[in-house]
Amino acid sequence: MQYKIFCDESNHLQFDGYDIMVLGALECPADEYKQIKNDIKAIKLKYHNKYELKWTKVSSSRGFMYKELIDYFFNSNMRYRAVIVKNKTKLKHEERNQTHSIFYYKTYYLVLKYLMREEHSYKVYFDKKDTQGKVALNKLQEVFSNSYELPTPYLQHIHSHESQLLQLVDILTGAVSYKNKDLSSSAIKTKIVSYIEQTNGRKIDMTSPLGHDKFNIFIQDPLRGQ
């Protein structure tokens, strides 16, 4: 089978004011992609939302829209995976003969490795955020090329405003990041997090069992050997 995976991250820079990094990925079967894309767009239009979905712009006036999007995800064949790195500012990359960028690529490999199977093929899409994106994709491609356990995926940058699934993974990853930063300043964001956890049946600030593959969380704390 063929799959499409859409990726988004939160606080991936080493020194950006937060001590955690969250990398998330949303997988969907390629033959269902067009229908899923259209369904997400229809939900947005139902609530008169013609704009890009972004966690940073979550609005309390569209609470029912976020609930419907979350329900849609959990009732679909999509899967979500996030890796949360704690104590990122305290990592001693030089002792592992790596830079923070290389650590970032290795962590993204850990995100995608869980979703991918050797017998399938994958196209993986990232939000185009800066001019260094091509370099990043080349580095990640190297990591996959050196792996003998996974197929080498097709990697591409796209603009989030053009992709309904990139927008959905932005919301899901934003919620995971918000919970793991232990924030509570926004009532609507807190409600979204609570609804995801309620629907998921598990907290999203805890590592999931391997078999819990609908909404899978892995917490990595290198300072504690996790």
Angle at alpha carbon of residue 166, lines to 158 and 58, rounded to 5°: 130
Residue 192: alpha-carbon gap to chain centroid: 16
pTM to 2 decimals? 0.92
- Domain count of the fold of the chain: 1
Domain extent for 89:
2-224
What does the pLDDT profile of the chain (226 residues) look like in tens digits?
A: 999 999 998 876 666 667 889 999 999 999 999 999 999 999 999 999 999 999 999 999 999 999 999 999 999 999 999 999 988 777 776 766 777 777 788 888 889 999 999 899 999 999 876 555 567 778 788 878 777 777 888 899 899 999 999 999 999 999 999 999 999 999 999 999 999 999 999 999 999 998 999 999 999 887 765 4
DSSP string, 111-123: HHHHH--TTSEEE
Residues 141/155, Cβ–Cβ less than 8 Å: yes
Residues 7/127, Cβ–Cβ less than 8 Å: yes
Distance CA 86, CA 221 (A): 5
Q: Which CATH number belongs to the domain containing residue 62 in this structure? A: 3.30.420.10
Query: Looking at this protein, which amino acid is placed at residue 32?
Result: E
